[in-house]
Amino acid sequence: MPEGDTVWRTAQRLHQALSGQPLTGCDIRVPRFAEVDLAGQVVLETTSRGKHILTRFEQVTLHTHLRMDGAWHIYRAGSPWRSPAFEARVVLATSSWQAVGFRLGNVDVVARADEHTLVGHLGPDLLGPDWSSEEAVRRIRSQPDRPIGEALLDQRNLAGIGNLYKAELCFLLGVHLDTPVREVGVLVQLVHKAHRLLSANKQRAEQTTTGDTRRDQRLWVYRRAGQPCRRCRTPIASATLPTASDRARDSSQQSAVGSPSQARVSYWCPTCQPPVD
């Protein structure tokens, strides 16, 4: 799933291409909104809120979420698409540009006054004007027994961190992913580091947490299972860890053993990030 900086950059590209222009065409290929036609309406702005994209018109907002493999492409009017047409879920056209949302995980059209029903649950946005490290820390600390890796992914705590930054942040601060929040003595520093990293990477097509932009040198641990740690040479470990929803289902005996549907692969260095006893 794209990280918050990738979503921020996508929203900026949509904003630059569409804002201030009336739509000459609109095709929303989602059954619930198939009859919505925004042609003729002026795009006021496109902005991001965590991992959500909001394209605003005078009365309504088009909300999209990329989920695992969604993407927005922007083409000059009349140019061929790089992805197959059957994967397109939203097409917005102006006289100069065409923005096509492929494989989008979520598409909604709501009244401007109802945006909160879609994004009101989110914590402070790491790349937004509402960013507050103090509020993010407060929210994370409100569940002291929760594993820190899980808490960082919870968009209700702070909006914008995905699996990549979860792994890299915990490595940089020397924290094991399963460490309970109450045991993380560097939580404030971790949250500040998250803000700095996403801010530094928001203009880049590829994220780097090492400071090295070479393709095979950009990251410390993410997707480097079995490779030597860049600090201590210990092989990087990986495991599929359950999410909060999986734990809840397991505790109520409603899920099959060994089938965490929302689990994600986690990465860490066993030496640099020792587990808490």
Band of residue 257 on the pLDDT scale cut at 50, 70, 90? very low
Q: What is the mean pLDDT of the segment spanning 41-48?
A: 98
202 labelled catalytic: no
51 labelled catalytic: yes
Domain with CATH 3.20.190.10 in the chain: 4-119
pTM passes above 0.75: yes
- Catalytic residue, chosen from 49, 51, 56, 224, is 51
Under 8 Å between Cβ of 151 and 140: yes
pLDDT tens readout for residues 198-217: 999 999 988 999 999 999 99
CATH 3.40.718.10 fits 133-268, yes or no: no
Q: What is the mean pLDDT of the segment spanning 57-69?
A: 97
182 labelled catalytic: no
Domain with CATH 1.10.8.50 in the chain: 133-268
3 labelled catalytic: yes
Q: Length of the chain in residues, anyone?
A: 277
CATH 2.60.40.1930 fits 4-119, yes or no: no
For the chain, what is the mean pLDDT? 92
pLDDT at 246 over 70: no
- Catalytic residue, chosen from 193, 230, 247, 264, is 264
pLDDT at 65 over 60: yes
pLDDT tens readout for residues 163-197: 999 999 999 999 999 999 999 999 999 999 999 99
pLDDT at 236 over 70: yes
- Catalytic residue, chosen from 2, 124, 147, 260, is 2
Give the per-residue pLDDT at 97.
Answer: 98
Give the per-residue pLDDT at 263.
Answer: 61
